[in-house]
Structure 1
Amino acid sequence: MTNAQSDTQAPASFITVDGLTKRFGDTVALNDVDLRLDKGETLAIIGPSAAGKSVLMKCIVGIYGADSGSIILNGDDVSKPNAEARPEWASQIGMLFQQNALFDSLTVWENICFRQIEAGTMSRDDAKAHAIDLLGHVGLAEESAVLKPNDLSGGMQKRVGIARAISSDPALLLLDNPTAGLDPVLSNHIELMIAKIAKQRGTTVISITNDMQIARHRYQNLMMMHDGKVYWSGPTSAIDDAHNEHLTQMLNGSAQGPISMRAGKRNDGVYA
């Protein structure tokens, strides 16, 4: 190796989270969380309720600001909601929220293309056509485009939320339990679609999931969280050799182990 080569640093990760801590009152929701992903990589996050999974996503998307630590997206520090680069990244992140967060007063197609309509980047006719095309990708009929969210089942609302998350062809896709409430066939279809998006478009995907088989076989990387901490992180190919008690208990769904069942909500009012 020449001197010039030795001085050359490896390119930074597309997303880098270093020492991220987030508190709500006396509750520590995230405790020194680290995360690194390259562009186009996929990550499944697993863990019990109140592990901090959803809070981590909301910090990345900019809903919550970091109390300490950093969030770097492709070189831009977006650790605070008022960060200079935040407005630009707002248009490059697609997110499926845990409870879908659809607008009850809007039709399905208006929900899917809400961002484009508000920004004026699509005419209403083009937005409707785009939304109908996306409905086909998530297994919904064209006729559902003119319905309101309250006319849909929970599983159908979930699919509309996924369609909205991918509607702007985001660089970073954040999915909070994308297959919750869906049957196994549709779950597999949705996960295959997500993998295809990552591969063909170079989209970086972070997904919270309770399906351990999906976590194992559909994602390149896995992160195990509990009580706001990361207990294991690495490629899914290394899971079986991890010898980590938290990870093993979660993957096997065992009642015995270091993770004890507890119910309740964090102080921010959301399950994490």
Structure 2
Amino acid sequence: MIDTLIELATEAGVVIRKIYESGNFNTSLKSDNSPVTSADEEANELILGVLRQKYPEIPAVSEESENRVLDQGKFFMIDPLDGTKGFLNKTNNFTVNIALIENCKPTIGVIYSPISGELFYTSTSLESFKYNFLTKNRKVKLSGQLRHRNKIMLITSENNFTERESKVFKDKLKHDVLKIGSSIKFCKLAEGTADVYPRFGRTMEWDTAAGHAILKYAGGTLVDLKTKKELTYGKKNYENSSFLALRESKDIEKINWEKLSDYS
């Protein structure tokens, strides 16, 4: 299955990149006032069409579809174009996200960045890897090991950073900040470029599922701030609470949980 999902993510990425570079696409607003483009819709149609053909017994939940509440524990979770605002603002920071959920947990994850060509994915051996689909370089196993830096690196969305994020650490630990859009933030944790990603407020399960799987198999974790446990999937309306993603599970000791309780 993982080979099929990788192929689907990269094929959808080719479609998205072609539309992106042409500048010829339509944009509208959804009921929640978030933007959707014809690139989102074409990628969604491609992914769902193949999944229905190859895995008809497994339902799929997608950001760009009318989703029903599922009564089974195995389903695909898809964001065909994560980072639509980045797509519209020409930041190059947008991805294709595909995950498999089993018993409320993400067991397979694929994230593809159409512009950089970076592909992040899980394997059947419960490991995570990085590979550049465009340059065809050697694949690299992700382990979350630090990458040539001394300070803790906090990663957050381009437009979401407030003082709250900087208060997640105990003892006012000195840290740097990296801002980037889309689910690539989870991948930056998994490859060791960043250490912690706090997210306050509403996100959806398709925003996190693929990145959650990749991060988990690289040795990290994603904690629901309400339950203080690993984030789960198949929740009502597929909505996430505030969460904290960590490069290493043991870094949870550096977190100021008392302060976080004010934001959860």
Q: Which has the higher helix share?
A: 1
The interval holding the TM-score normalised by the smaller chain is: under 0.3
Rg larger in structure: 1
Query: So what's the TM-score if we normalise by structure 2?
Result: 0.27
Structure (1/2) with the larger strand percentage = 2
Q: Greater relative contact order: 1 or 2 (C-alpha under 8 angstroms, separation 6 or more)?
A: 1
